[in-house]
Structure 1
Amino acid sequence: MAKRIITISREFGSGGRFIGEEVAKKLGIVYYDKSIINEIAEKSGLAPEYIQENAELSPKKGVFAYALVGRDITGRSVGDMVYEAQRKIILDLAEREPCVIIGRNADYILKDRNDVLNVFIHGDMPEKIQRISRLYRVSEQKAVKMMADTDKRRMTNYNFYTEQKWGRTSNYTLCLNSSQLGYDRCEKIIMECSNS
């Protein structure tokens, strides 16, 4: 069965966002990444800047701070409200049109659909460091810190809301090493798998 929806989870610096954008262009389908933020802001009533910082990433303090943040009288934290708005939007997008969705726990949110191809893009440390250093114009040492911080926050958010382990191969249809395969081959594999 052809896959209408492609979700791409990725390690920071692996090029997963770029790969997803190219796949969407080549397949002629819609690409969702940061564009989801404004819709989440509208549904949740929170500022887009807040969503940008919190919709995919956990607080910088880690999993315990994440579990113990302030809650309203229903027991929901602001993070829970953001996640719920994000979940509804991703479910709506999947109903609406074929698309590529980057991150935001979309693989888990759409787990009950059989028309979804879930991809995890990872890479080798030296290539990721070089890519981050080049893209963000930072030192290699700063790139390593950015990578560790971002991936830790993504992992904490994913593990907290999905009760699964971020990056575990059994959560995904495909796990691709962009350092070993290159971006073009990753794109081709994803497109081939989406059409089978």
Structure 2
Amino acid sequence: MKQTIITISREFGSGGHVIGEKIAEKMNIPFYDKDIIQEIADKTGFSEDFVKEQSEYAPSKNMFAYAFVGRDHTGSSLSDQVYAAQTQVIQEISKKGSCVIIGRCADYILKDRPDTYHIFVYGNEAEKISRTQQLFNLPEKEALAMNRGMDKKRRLHYEYYTDRKWGDPKNHCMCLNTSVLGIDRCVQYIIELIQSNM
């Protein structure tokens, strides 16, 4: 089987992580999500908690926050250093063989690789709230605030480092609504897409 890399960008609460896990299991290939955090921490010397927050989320829900972060003599912020290490880690992972990579601007970092499928997963608000409530044991109002807050910080981070619009269909070969299709059908469609190009 030729090398195949699947990147999955997703709205918070849409089930993108689960979809990625199921694809990796069915295709018998490595799955990367939180493991990337450890590798970035090893490269930078930053704590895993710091990397977890910096590798996918903006420092606040406002793009102007990037203008006020501390920078070293080269003009590089801690967030910039995490992103540089993240880019290196994802590029190294992609050279090892077929895999699934969740989030962390992987669709942009690997945009020039012809063997890569970029997927965006989203959902309707009610279903995303319900999933977040179940995962984090939250009341509806808090789940809604969490979903919206996390998505906003993801979008700002992505758009700051890639200069592209987060979730733009032009940047993905497939965009899937889990509220309409369900998790298993999304997995099926992604695998069928990959198999049709083998």
TM-score under structure 2 length normalisation? 0.96
Secondary structure at the aligned position of 1:121 is classed as strand
State whether residues 30 and 98 of structure 1, in contact with CA within 8 Å, keep that contact through their aligned partners in structure 2: yes
Separation of aligned partners in 1, 2:43 and 2:174: 32
Separation of aligned partners in 2, 1:68 and 1:175: 34
Superposition deviation, residue 68 in structure 1 = 2.8
TM-score under structure 1 length normalisation? 0.97
Question: What do residues 29-51 of structure 1 show as CA deviations (whole Å, max 9, x unaligned)?
Answer: 00000011010001111111110
Separation of aligned partners in 1, 2:98 and 2:2: 11
* One-letter amino acid matched to 1:20: G
Superposition deviation, residue 134 in structure 1 = 1.2
Where does residue 115 of structure 1 map in the other structure? 115
State whether residues 6 and 119 of structure 2, in contact with CA within 8 Å, keep that contact through their aligned partners in structure 1: yes
Secondary structure at the aligned position of 1:41 is classed as helix
* One-letter amino acid matched to 2:173: T
| Structure 1 segments unaligned to the other structure (5+ residues) | none
Secondary structure at the aligned position of 2:157 is classed as helix
Where does residue 139 of structure 1 map in the other structure? 139
Superposition deviation, residue 135 in structure 1 = 1.1
* One-letter amino acid matched to 1:168: D
Q: Which runs of 4+ in 1 moved over 3 A?
A: none
State whether residues 11 and 151 of structure 2, in contact with CA within 8 Å, keep that contact through their aligned partners in structure 1: yes
State whether residues 6 and 194 of structure 1, in contact with CA within 8 Å, keep that contact through their aligned partners in structure 2: no
1:168 aligned to 2:168?
yes
Separation of aligned partners in 1, 2:178 and 2:2: 23
- Root-mean-square deviation (Å): 1.2
Where does residue 67 of structure 2 map in the other structure? 67
Where does residue 82 of structure 1 map in the other structure? 82
* One-letter amino acid matched to 2:50: Y
Superposition deviation, residue 67 in structure 1 = 3.1
Superposition deviation, residue 52 in structure 1 = 1.1
| Structure 2 segments unaligned to the other structure (5+ residues) | none
State whether residues 3 and 194 of structure 1, in contact with CA within 8 Å, keep that contact through their aligned partners in structure 2: no
Separation of aligned partners in 1, 2:193 and 2:84: 30
Separation of aligned partners in 1, 2:153 and 2:71: 20
Separation of aligned partners in 1, 2:134 and 2:39: 31
Where does residue 27 of structure 1 map in the other structure? 27
Separation of aligned partners in 1, 2:2 and 2:120: 19
Superposition deviation, residue 3 in structure 1 = 6.1
